[in-house]
Structure 1
Amino acid sequence: MASISPAFSLWTSRMLSVLRITAGFLFMQHGMQKLFNFPAGGHSAELFSMMGLAGVLEFVGGLLLIFGLFTRPVAFILSGLMAVAYFMAHAPQGPLPIVNQGELAVLYCFIFLFLAVAGAGDWSLDAWRQRLAARR
């Protein structure tokens, strides 16, 4: 079992990066729908509204997560955004996420909370900046 461990530890940080990139890409699309009505079928929001602010945070935050730039603070803010979204929009409709259609908000909330604690992973601008600073 000990011989398998180095392979797992090598891929742990890489898969953390894959999780971050995938979550950021999917989350960014929610912001694109709110801000640009793209992809079609979205619901545009006025920029200076609560939905507009959510759209900006989703789009910019998702983009920053894709590149792994400022991952910890961005993920923490997005986790809070999803907690607020759940309790404002979903929780009043029923007690359980499966009933109130809040599963995605809960899942994003905890993925982002995990990224805020775990960091960006190897494949990120944050890791590149750390390697650059260590060389100096």
Structure 2
Amino acid sequence: MNETLAAWTPRALSVLRIITGLLIIQHGMGKLLGFPALPMYANVQLMSLSGAAGVIELIGGALLILGLWTQPVAFILSGEMAFAYFIGHFPKGFHPLINGGTLAALYCFTCLYLSTAGAGPWSVDASMKKA
């Protein structure tokens, strides 16, 4: 059983990266493109803190989905999510469940893992290494 699961480990890494990218890109799309439309993202200005976060999320999420420059992109996204947690959530309380920062913390550490583990075999990064 362990050998069978171990054989899928690199592919699971690719799936984790793709899903993480899809989840992050939606925040950037909501802030900058208005889709999906959320009241809290209705008046985001490009030259604001939320606008800058949206740019990082939109571009970083797309690059994660593709698996292009995964390690530096994931590191930047990890930092952005840590920043989001400590600026937007931590002042509301210590515990993530109470302050609403559970997703920011999870994104932060998932991206930190991807920044060390890489993109996995289903990625542009892996294709470029083969060439």
TM-score, L = length of structure 1: 0.91
Q: Pick the aligned partner of 1:16 from 2, 9, 13.
A: 13
Residues 1-136 of structure 1 mapped to structure 2, 5 A cutoff? 4-5=2-3, 7-41=4-38, 43-44=41-42, 45-132=44-131
Give 1:70 shift: 0.2
Q: Which amino acid in 2 is paired with 1:77?
A: I
Give 1:37 shift: 1.0
Q: Distance in 2 between matches of 1:127 and 1:102?
A: 33
Q: How many residue pairs end up in the alignment?
A: 129
Instruction: Name the stretch that deviates more: 99-108 or 43-52.
Output: 43-52
Q: Which amino acid in 1 is paired with 2:11?
A: R
Rg (Cα) greater in structure: 1
Q: Which amino acid in 2 is paired with 1:13?
A: P
Give 1:8 shift: 2.5
RMSD in angstroms over aligned alpha carbons?
Answer: 1.1
Percent of matched pairs sharing the same residue: 55
Q: Distance in 2 between matches of 1:25 and 1:68?
A: 12
TM-score, L = length of structure 2: 0.95
Runs of 4+ in 1 over 4 A off after TM superposition: none
Q: Which amino acid in 2 is paired with 1:30?
A: H
Q: Distance in 1 between matches of 2:87 and 2:23?
A: 21
Q: Distance in 1 between matches of 2:38 and 2:86?
A: 25
Give 1:9 shift: 2.8
Q: Distance in 1 between matches of 2:105 and 2:32?
A: 22
* Unmatched 5+ stretches in structure 2: none
